[in-house]
A and B are shown apart, each in its own frame.
Chain A
């Protein structure tokens, strides 16, 4: 099987997920090839890194490709796919890959599965992915090839070096992009830097209301920590944006991460899974957060937190 892997980079760095795509491609290629595609203005250094893990690296270079746009990425990938006829195109399930992958698939009339965590090619192309924010799983068969898959980050970390060649694809965009890149906007810095905290009391939608944040504040203060939250808490305006833990917020590795009323969606877990000690309190015994926590309690946070506060006050005298 000929497997294409579309690389991604930002701020001068190759996204490690690009290598993970190649690891997966090498696993499933059989007597075929794992081929990386890297698109941009001057992508030599990324191509060299990718070539360690790929049988071949296609460079697609043009001034107009300096910044990613879905229009031009799809345009050059269509040209390359038409000529080289891959069976499978792997793309990172990121803000960038997740955007152009369905567009590319539709233009190729190809089946697509997104946020894939397992691939089996022994009998057609079968994939596994989560539904319902991690609470359910499905195995899907894609009915035809070529097919497009976007792959979840962090799943295919293991792989071997292959050592392939770098080839100029000789492809240029055939049109102008209807979308123009203007600029990157940096995250705002607030007064508390949660990435520096040793102890984080983190609240999720289970906290129910802005007025209950106080409870978490009190507990955090007694523990000498800070309060952070999951995305819905930030979206609702109960905590400032810089307190968000997760893929679109901050990655934290405190000594203690106390998760209160957080379900444990993948996008959240990516921001806290490497914490030294994770304790989760959640009403739902099936909550995925218990899959990353070291200790868990199935309980109502509004019962347990006041008890914790009281007992800590006793200790502190």
Chain B
């Protein structure tokens, strides 16, 4: 069983966010990067399948600065990494296109992507890649069973419902958070990862479908703010609750 996992080195939405002076991009100062949260689950799921059934896990990252994330995946237990050192930024077509090109000589049973990237929130790259490779797809996979030549996936729907579907392999799955408990990277893992292969494949995107006009902080309608030290805040909250008969 060979699984390709896409892992993005992505800024954490909880880091300090501001718009760069061009008004069209995110200012890099204050951004903290790590493996995209959804991709942690995807990498973990792939490694578990490999541990049970044997095979290989290959991680693929797009970005000039994605080494740390690829190393982390190798330390978790992925076998090798492919780095595509190009910054595709916004256009998911570009990201999917360069990944397609970089893996064209790989035979695989499955490709895992995260459901979405935590910075762009597009939820596109995995599905676009599936379409470009003309493979069956399932998104938001919350439970997975792998059998010979097919997989049974439970997709997350709205309201806590799941949809169970069966796909033939090869296929592309996008993984929802919570499908497993991603392991922590051990010191041993980090040591072992040093000797693992990280291959660079240079490809440039050719398509361009979008243009950024403007980036800005969304206006937030503000709640009535309670000021003061923690004790005063607590006091005011209790006053509000009392007025409403809630305490």
Q: State the A residues within 8 Å of B (CB).
A: 10, 69-71, 74, 94-96, 98-99, 101-103, 105-107, 111-115, 126, 129-144, 177-187, 199, 223, 231-232, 234-237, 241-242, 244, 247-251, 255-256, 263, 277-281, 284, 286, 288, 290-300, 303-304, 307-308, 310-312, 315
**A247 engages B158 (CB within 8 Å):** yes
Interface string of B215-241 (1 = CB under 8 A from A): 111101111111100110111011011
Say yes or no for B208: interface residue by CB 8 A criterion: yes
Contacts known (A141-B210, A223-B246, A297-B237); A131 close to B120, Cβ less than 8 A: yes
Q: Which residue of A lies closest to B25 (CB)?
A: A138
Q: Is the interface of B mostly helix, strand, loop or mixed?
A: mixed
- Residues of chain A with a CB closer than 8 A to B226's CB: 295-297
**B238 engages A311 (CB within 8 Å):** yes
* CB<8 Å pairs between A and B, sample of 6: A114-B123, A139-B215, A183-B164, A255-B246, A263-B14, A290-B223
Say yes or no for B54: interface residue by CB 8 A criterion: no
Contacts known (A140-B211, A296-B226); A112 close to B124, Cβ less than 8 A: yes
Segment among B57-65, B72-80, B134-142, B187-195 that sits at the interface with chain A: B134-142
- Residues of chain A with a CB closer than 8 A to B240's CB: 277, 279, 295
Contact with B163, one of A130, A185, A251 (Cβ below 8 angstroms): A185
Contacts known (A130-B218, A137-B217); A248 close to B181, Cβ less than 8 A: no
Contact with B167, one of A95, A179, A255, A310 (Cβ below 8 angstroms): A179
Tell me the total A-B contact number using a CB cutoff of 8 A: 258
In the assembled complex, the Cα of A130 lies from the Cα of B217 at a distance in Å of 9
Leading 10 A-B pairs by shortest Cβ distance? A187-B160, A106-B131, A235-B178, A307-B234, A111-B209, A303-B230, A296-B223, A293-B223, A178-B136, A102-B127
**A132 engages B13 (CB within 8 Å):** yes
**A178 engages B168 (CB within 8 Å):** yes
**A297 engages B225 (CB within 8 Å):** yes
Interface string of B130-165 (1 = CB under 8 A from A): 111000111110000000000010111111111111
Q: Which residue of B lies closest to A103 (CB)?
A: B131
In the assembled complex, the Cα of A181 lies from the Cα of B11 at a distance in Å of 36
- Residues of chain A with a CB closer than 8 A to B136's CB: 70-71, 177-179
**B139 engages A143 (CB within 8 Å):** no
**A181 engages B230 (CB within 8 Å):** no
Q: Shortest Cβ distance from B124 into chain A, in angstroms? A: 5
Contacts known (A103-B130, A131-B121, A179-B165); A126 close to B160, Cβ less than 8 A: no
In the assembled complex, the Cα of A237 lies from the Cα of B152 at a distance in Å of 24
Say yes or no for B201: interface residue by CB 8 A criterion: no
Q: Shortest Cβ distance from A76 into chain B, in angstroms? A: 16
Contact with A255, one of B222, B235, B244 (Cβ below 8 angstroms): B244
Contacts known (A126-B213, A237-B181, A297-B233); A185 close to B118, Cβ less than 8 A: no
**B224 engages A295 (CB within 8 Å):** yes
**B127 engages A103 (CB within 8 Å):** yes
In the assembled complex, the Cα of A236 lies from the Cα of B223 at a distance in Å of 29
**A296 engages B178 (CB within 8 Å):** no
**B127 engages A99 (CB within 8 Å):** yes
In the assembled complex, the Cα of A279 lies from the Cα of B224 at a distance in Å of 9
- Residues of chain A with a CB closer than 8 A to B220's CB: 286, 288, 290-291
Say yes or no for B122: interface residue by CB 8 A criterion: yes
**A184 engages B224 (CB within 8 Å):** no
**B246 engages A182 (CB within 8 Å):** no
- Residues of chain A with a CB closer than 8 A to B209's CB: 111-112, 142-144
